[in-house]
Each structure stands twice: as C-alpha cells, then as structure tokens.
Amino acid sequence: MNILQKENILLNVPTESKIDAITRVGQRLVENGYVEAPYIEGMLKREESMTTYIGNHVAIPHSMPEYVSHILHSGIVVAQYPNGVDFGNGNVAKLVIGIAGKGDDHMEVLSRLAEVCMEMENVDKLANAASAQEIMEVIGVE
C-alpha cells in the first residue's frame, strides 16, 4: 500500500476549525485503510497537548504514542485549505497533512515532510496545486 495516493489528497477544502480539519484528515486515513477509528482520538489529544502546526502555513497532525497500535499501514493525507485553518496564536495552516507511520516509517515520513515544508517555495506549490498529481510530485513520497 502506497503511503500517499491520489485519493488521500483533498483539494480546495473550505475553511473549518482545526478540530474539524484534524478529524477530516484522520477520517480519510480510516476510510482508506491506514488506521482504525480510535487513531483520530489520538490525533486530537496530540493537538490538545502540543500544536502540530510546524510553521510556513503547515500543520502535520499525528497521534499520541499510545495510539500507534491503531495504525495498520503507513499513510499520509494532504488537505489543502486555500483560505487557511486557524491553529491558534496567529498560525494559519493552508496545508493540513495527517500522518500515520507504522514502525520506523513514522519518523522517516515526518522528516521527509518537514524537509519539503521548510522551503516556502514547496509550501506555495502545495497550497496552490490544482491537482493531486502536482502535490504528489512536490512531496515525492511513493
């Protein structure tokens, strides 16, 4: 199972709360067979304990360690919010990237995404991408 597939990419999602955005990407991880439903609860708890906003208009929600048993396969869901999602403290995410990493994949996936998102040029490409294919090319994760 590929970590990132076209059906894991949500383009032009209308603005919503960060809770709804995290739930949306978590639900897509469930629907596409990457995680079991309780993983979403872990994602929301992670956000309560520490923001998953990483800067450059990007948030990478993932779960608390005690929920990793609910990960079936490593996966990424990318939700593009042209008008942004308020993550508090003036932080607005135009990209909400839900991740689930099985075993050592977790850190590998997270570091790859962090690398891509450190470059504002890449973030702009992702935030303005008109197709799932464009997003997959920028992230470069198969």
Q: How far apart are the first and last CA of the chain?
A: 9
Residue that is written with structure tokens 């040029």 in the block: 121
Backbone angles phi, psi at 121, to 5 degrees: -60, -40
CA torsion sign for 24, 101, 127, 94 is: positive
Beta bridge partners of 71: 35
Active site residues: 62
Backbone angles phi, psi at 93, to 5 degrees: -95, 125
